[in-house]
Structure 1
Amino acid sequence: MELDNISEDDFYPNMFWVEFESEIFKQMEGATEPYDDAPFELLNPTRIRYYFILDSPPIDIGEYLVGDKIQMYITPYLAISETAFVRWFMEPSELSRSGENITMLTEGADGILINGIRDEEFGHIRAVVYDFTKEIPGKVAVGQRLFDIRKDISKTCTGNIRSTHTCRCNDGFEGNGVHCLDVNECTEGTSYICLPGATCVNTPGSYKCQCEKGYEGDGIYSCIDIDECLLQHHSCSPNAFCVNTLGSFTCLCQTGHFGDGIHCIASSTWTPWSPWSVCTATCGVQNKMRIRACTHPESGMRCEGPSAELMGCEVLTPCPVNGQWSEWSPWSPCTASCAGIKRRVHICDNPSPAGGGVPCSGPPEQVMPCGNADCQVTGSWSAWTAWSPCPLSCGMAIMKRSRTCNAPVSTESVTYCAGHSQQERSCGFPVRTKF
């Protein structure tokens, strides 16, 4: 909480409070306590609301003896209007939000008279001013001042007259009774009463022996080591062990951490291995994998060893492999200089069929004609066509048949065939002459 501009109505008896969220409350331990603000809240116990009181420094009225007359006014310290009224309270040094042990002395006046102060009336007197404001109907607290009446412990007087005949200095003070000064026992040879290591501290009218830091006691009879670890009065890291020593303590980082004990950084370590990945293959070969991570990179350390591991899956049957042709071999030399052929082959071994796989499809060999295109090519005769019909039914006639010289390949060269492409023969019967 931060208040940028404090105003008069920010001070006591007004209070500030903070309430923790329920998730934080679940993590807190200990008994609950009720609200004290209103009666109905007594039925709603809670530990998640905390109150803060903003108070001003007290105005020192001075030192007085029992029986003195004291008169105080608020107007020198705070301007008040004609409609305002003032309530004067006597309160303890330690405030509480419930307002217990606060006694109202008087109200309505801008000053207060204490005619013969009693021993129990020394301490804090508070004046609270109530007046009208624009925002709120009725009179509310608009300002306050706290006064401190200190008891003079330096002297004891009888009667109402302060003189060297009626007053005397108390033990621990020296003077003529009217003016008494504190005796510094620590410079008057009293310090030898304190234990070795303890320090003499002067106080008004007396002194005290203060044990050195890390010890507790009266400094006169005992100075006992304070176990800061047991009392949780240490600054060790939550990841450190607190070890008590004489007058102090030391912090040691726990296993798996390093540092000075006040600040402990977790060492980098491997997380547990993840489960192995699932094998999805039903045949052939497959690996499964597991991984782990190196924690706390902020330490600047590296974890030793691999972050991943591979392991073969259980024995699987070989998968069927379909055959694939290898690359074609180079063409073979031409078998003839004019009308030859050349060949090339490929093999079904890239890969070879296995495990019931399909063999390669298609011929393993290719043949292509080759040779010089200008060479004369010896062709071959086709089959003879059928003989043409005989044109005459009597007498002699001629019928024919033919054949074609076919080249073995498509070429622009001249094709030659041995023999004739046509044949003729006679047909019919000769005419018989009558005699």
Structure 2
Amino acid sequence: MHFFKVKMLATILDSLLFLLLCLITMQIPSKIQDPYKQECIARKIHCHQKAICQQDELTSDFYCRCLPGYRGDGISICQDPVFHVTVSNASTCDGLGVQVCLLTVTEPKVTFNVSVSTSGNVRSYIVQWYKFYSGQSPQFNSYRRRLGNTLRGVMGHNGQVLTLLSIKEDDFYPNLFWAEVRLHPPLAKPAKAEVYDLTVFEMLNPSSLRYYFVLDSRPIELGEFLEGSAVAIYLPQYLQLPPSSFVQWTKEPRPMGLLASTPVVLADTTEGIQIESLTEHDFGYIRALVYDFSPDVPGRVLVAQRLFLVKKDITRMCNGNHNEANCYCNPGFEGNGVHCVDVDECAEGMSVNCLPEAECVNTYGSFFCRCPKGFEGDGRISCIDIDECTRGSHACNQDAMCLNTLSSYYCVCQSGFVGDGVHCKAKSTWSPWSPWSVCSATCGFQNQMRIRRCTHPESGMRCVGPSADLKLCLDLPPCPVDGHWSEWSPWSLCAETCSGVKERIRTCDSPVPSGGGTPCQGEKVQFAMCDNKPCPVDGGWSAWTSWAPCPVSCGLAIVSRTRQCNNPASKHGGKNCSGHGYEEGSCGFPEAFCKYLNIV
């Protein structure tokens, strides 16, 4: 068994390792934490009211930097965050802190709930969850890993709820979780662990875009001990240590609510500690931090922890041996010095000096006077009304005015908003008109248009008036007009009873060409034959054919010729040719004459 003997508060502070505790333990600040403010003032550097003075690590120069979540140059502008992340049910958180929820784990699973409010017109966002692994400083870095839906953790309600179905040893403080709102689309798969150290800048003024969740276990109570007693804590009795682990023992401040409080490092690389003689400052919380290499992250990080509470016996004091002769009960207790019980100072008949309006509350070994709700003070001398408005402890909407009243306050939505003061919605009003649309035409007529939008529809109100406006483009010349034909006129009447020609016309006036437009192309007049019956045609003879050759050389013979009635042929009821189309004649010589001529 390896113990390390320590004398409490005689050790040095390991501020690099436990700077993270500032984030968890800080109280709600009444103003911006600006440790270098006087340095910037001395150098005549005037920071924006939403910025703080910072020192560059490389050049040591001082400059202004907008608070986390704000955007701008830190001097002339620091634009408000579009989103604000809050915890959905603050009553489940054990500790106070800006953008921090401390949860004491009592069940095998835990659910983190956040809600996101937006300002402006941005509606699309995602909530991304991270797990932070505290590294063994200063040798190793810290890491963060983006979370997604797994068998161990499930997200729901658009990423605003994360449920850890099982709690692991490395889920506890100083490891932590956080929800961060973003405009970017979600990544497909959970990312690998990446180096990430929380900076002092982030912890002094937490961003409204991020909300932290810290898991803590119930302390293992040791004692009750008297001053001068000895106590020993041997970690393997409570936790199985890996062979390659590194154990660090720290004394934690309580209550966890002071920004300047940092834990005291008691011992390193030892399985246990032993305190031989307890003093007043030795009582309280001691945490054993176990660091080792993890498959989830590349460096040596916190893999387990145990929280111990060394309790003091406040009922009595002893000088020497703890027996009735050497011990006596402390004020607020009564008994024989060995056994002391609490005295109820608030019981009837006891004399307490609380104000009439204050309540007496008995505590273990004492009592206190509690002022009524809405008042503050010791309850004995004074109970003064709390001005929740100036203190910033009211629940009024950012668009509401806070009016302090006796023991309470009243919220009134500002002009331009409607609601009960806790929830204020902007009234629906017309946005400014958009610029007029560009006239794309170079001639003729064209309308210009402008539009406006009815803002804040969530108020349920309607804007009165048109959402669009039109006007003619000015000084546009007439456009050239090409000529186009009119429809054809009806056909003209036919004057003849047979045969004949009819006509129809059209004009270039639909429209008439103007402004340099082209004239009509094509025929102006069309002709067509009348639909009447054709006229009769009388037949005519063709010319006679030649006489046929005489068939004999001596003697007389008959020859003929013909003609036809086809010049022209009769048509459409016309008359045929009159006369005949065949003629005969004689030819040759008488035989006597032939003999005379000796032809035969």
TM-score, L = length of structure 2:
0.47
- 2:201 counterpart (47, 60, 66): 47
For 2:449 and 2:302, locate their aligned partners in 1 and report how far apart those are by CA, in whole Å. Answer: 75
Compare 270-279 and 350-359 and name the one that shifted more.
350-359
CA deviation after TM superposition for structure 1 residue 327, in Å:
0.9
- C-alpha spacing 1:122/1:193, structure 2 compared with 1 (3 Å): same
Match of residue 317 from structure 1: 477
Gaps of 5+ in 2: 1-129, 132-163, 184-196, 205-211, 295-300, 539-566, 576-600
CA deviation after TM superposition for structure 1 residue 208, in Å:
0.9
Instruction: State the identity %.
Output: 51
Q: Is the 8 A contact 1:337 1:371 kept in 2?
A: no
Q: Is the 8 A contact 1:19 1:49 kept in 2?
A: no
Question: For 1:234-253, what aligned pairs fall within 5 Å after superposition?
Answer: 234-253=394-413
Amino acid at match of 1:6: K
Q: Is the 8 A contact 2:289 2:305 kept in 1?
A: yes
Question: For 1:285-434, what aligned pairs fall within 5 Å after superposition?
Answer: 285-360=445-520, 364-370=524-530, 372-376=532-536, 413=572
CA deviation after TM superposition for structure 1 residue 185, in Å:
1.9
Amino acid at match of 1:123: G
CA deviation after TM superposition for structure 1 residue 209, in Å:
1.4
Gaps of 5+ in 1: 25-40, 134-139, 379-405, 417-435
Match of residue 168 from structure 2: 6
Q: Deviations over 1:290-313 (max 9, x none)?
A: 233334445554433223222112
For 2:232 and 2:442, locate their aligned partners in 1 and report how far apart those are by CA, in whole Å. Answer: 100
CA deviation after TM superposition for structure 1 residue 277, in Å:
2.5
For 1:128 and 1:286, locate their aligned partners in 2 and report how far apart those are by CA, in whole Å. Answer: 77
Mark the structure with the bigger radius of gyration: 1
- 2:385 counterpart (206, 209, 225): 225
Question: For 1:135-146, what aligned pairs fall within 5 Å after superposition?
Answer: 146=307
For 1:157 and 1:236, locate their aligned partners in 2 and report how far apart those are by CA, in whole Å. Answer: 54
CA deviation after TM superposition for structure 1 residue 70, in Å:
3.5
CA deviation after TM superposition for structure 1 residue 248, in Å:
3.2
Q: Does 1:114 align with 2:268?
A: no
- 1:60 counterpart (196, 221, 239): 221
- C-alpha spacing 1:100/1:356, structure 2 compared with 1 (3 Å): closer
3-state SS of the aligned residue for 1:258?
A: strand
- Structure number with the bigger relative contact order (C-alpha 8 A, sep ≥ 6) is 2
CA deviation after TM superposition for structure 1 residue 84, in Å:
11
Amino acid at match of 1:70: A
Q: Is the 8 A contact 2:253 2:261 kept in 1?
A: no
Q: Is the 8 A contact 1:191 1:200 kept in 2?
A: no
Q: Is the 8 A contact 1:275 1:290 kept in 2?
A: yes
Match of residue 162 from structure 1: 323
Amino acid at match of 2:345: E
CA deviation after TM superposition for structure 1 residue 194, in Å:
3.2
Q: Deviations over 1:61-108 (max 9, x none)?
A: 3334444x435453654568999999877665468999664456x997
Match of residue 33 from structure 1: none
Amino acid at match of 2:475: V
- C-alpha spacing 1:71/1:256, structure 2 compared with 1 (3 Å): closer
Match of residue 35 from structure 1: none
For 1:413 and 1:210, locate their aligned partners in 2 and report how far apart those are by CA, in whole Å. Answer: 135
Match of residue 181 from structure 1: 341
User: Cα RMSD (Å) of the superposition?
Assistant: 5.1
Amino acid at match of 2:511: P
For 1:142 and 1:313, locate their aligned partners in 2 and report how far apart those are by CA, in whole Å. Answer: 73
CA deviation after TM superposition for structure 1 residue 341, in Å:
4.4
3-state SS of the aligned residue for 2:346?
A: helix
TM-score, L = length of structure 1:
0.61
Q: Deviations over 1:180-238 (max 9, x none)?
A: 22122222356974345433211122211122333221122222233333333233333
Q: Is the 8 A contact 2:355 2:379 kept in 1?
A: yes
CA deviation after TM superposition for structure 1 residue 364, in Å:
4.5
Match of residue 277 from structure 1: 437
